[in-house]
Amino acid sequence: MKRIRILHGPNVRYIGQGREPHWYGIQSWQPFWEKLQSRYAHKAYLTYLESAYEGQLVDWVWETDVYDALIINPGALAHTSYALYDALLGCGKPSIEVHVSQIYQRESFRQRLITAKACTGVIVGLGLLGYELAILYLLSYENEDRTFSDIGI
């Protein structure tokens, strides 16, 4: 069973709790998280951590013995954190960066993703569904042909 760690950076916890619903929607993380855990319990061991502190996220990325793959929404740190970039690049684990909002329709500073360059892939603008798509990809990651046939799609 694949162990997938999900990390959230600053302000991500406020999605669905009044934070700019026109960008982030109205669905909050907790019920979505419970649905993900239930849906993928037989295929993956999912863990979720969140911190507004860059150093804490860096430490969690480097805890490579407790996960096989990583999903990260670094929040605003995606645009500023070379420390997080270095950790993602150096940890040696496949990682998918997820952004709930469509950053390419937003302010220009949000369109520069420092951390994404260190990730296996990036999912942008698909709301919370981006996390589920990241899980599906990571479950198939070791397959040479990268098809989804073995995970029921």
pLDDT in tens, 52-84: 999 999 999 999 999 999 999 998 899 989 999
Would you please indicate which residues are annotated as catalytic (active-site) residues?
24, 99
Q: Are 78 and 111 in contact (CB under 8 A)?
A: no
Q: Is the pTM of this model over 0.75?
A: yes
Q: Tell me the C-alpha distance between 72 and 83, whole Å.
A: 14
Delimit the domains of the chain by residue range. Answer: 2-151
Q: Tell me the C-alpha distance between 124 and 138, whole Å.
A: 16
Q: Which CATH class is domain 2-151?
A: alpha beta
Cβ atoms < 10 Å from Cβ of 71: 27
